[in-house]
Amino acid sequence: MSAQTPFLLFSGTRSRYLADKICKSLGLPLGQMNIQYFADGEFSVSYEESIRGRDVFLIQSTFPNSDNLMELLLMIDAAKRASAHSIIAVVPYFGWARQDRKDQPRVSIGAKLIADMLSTAGIDRLITMDLHADQIQGFFNVPVDHLYASSVFLEFIQKKLPMDNLVIATPDVGGTKRASSYSKYLGIPMVICHKSRLRANEVAEMRIIGDVEGKDVLLVDDMVDTAGTITKAADLMLANGAKSVRAIASHAVMSDPASQRVDDSGLTEIFFTDSIPYPGKSPKVKILSISDMFAEAIRRVCNDESISNLYVIK
């Protein structure tokens, strides 16, 4: 790689698909790195070019399994030991973010633990997107650039969806702030689904607060895991007279049987970003890329420029 390159980008194994698109947007090659695997599953990381005194961006989401997180930690450690000038972790999907508080006795706060691990490994900055809870930024003692997929989704909504009959909806009360931001920006009504759970990933009861009769509904969420909540919300909207129901969500966790549930539901379409690779095959699932947004954020961080105008809504 040329010595004139202003900064270097490297990717973990499972985020290579996104790193390639980010590099293409920046007009830069992806850095050369080697990951050696041992028979028992252990692996080691090494850089195949000098990174001494350079700003290094490490692109790796920490979605399941945990090897992705361990790989990122080893990438950070190797960069620190190779005398990188600064180490910026680019984590489009920050895993364990649902464990952001102690909401019952004797539980871990996984998001804080991951933040401590990344900081101890040696990052100087984190660039991420649509954390499950905004306050996770406070778990870090390094700068956090928290991007929002809304800038990608809003452009799509305004170009492709029927704005004159659209209603924004949230599949649970916890997403009210996010849905309200979309509603205010677009100047359209909002409705809320209130749900109660018996246990994690299992919805016991759900009801609608607001009117969806004859409306085209757009459900807004930050992630979809098993798709139980969002598909139940979609079916409930249709049962209450909605004309159509679509959904947008930043992260396609999509654990089994999520794809089947989406196919069997009343959802017309569901749109995700490519923060996580979607391995399933559902005709209702569509993917929008965040590569240009992350490329611009990386460029501005490296050039000490403001990124605030990348935030269309929060």
Residues annotated as part of the active site: 195
Whether residue 64 has a cis bond before it, omega within 30° of 0: no
Closest CA to 172 of 148, 150, 201: 201
Give dist(CA 247, CA 250) in Å, integer. 10
Q: Which helix (H) or strand (E) holds 184?
A: helix 176-186
Sign of CA dihedral 83, 87, 93, 96: positive
Three-class DSSP category at 5: coil
Tokens standing for 264?
């069997």
Residue 284: name the closest of 257, 261, 256, 250 by CA: 261
Question: Residues 222, 175: contact at Cβ < 8 Å?
Answer: yes
Cβ–Cβ under 8 Å, residues 302 and 28: no
Residues 6 or more apart whose CB falls under 8 angstroms from that of 142 comprise 119, 123, 124, 125, 126
SS3 178: helix
Give the amino acid at 189.
P
Cα 98 to the chain's mean position, in Å? 12
Secondary structure of 128-169 in HEC code, one letter for each residue: EECCCCHHHHHHCCCCEEEECCHHHHHHHHHHHCCHHHEEEE
The contacts of residue 239 (CB under 8 Å, 6+ apart) are none
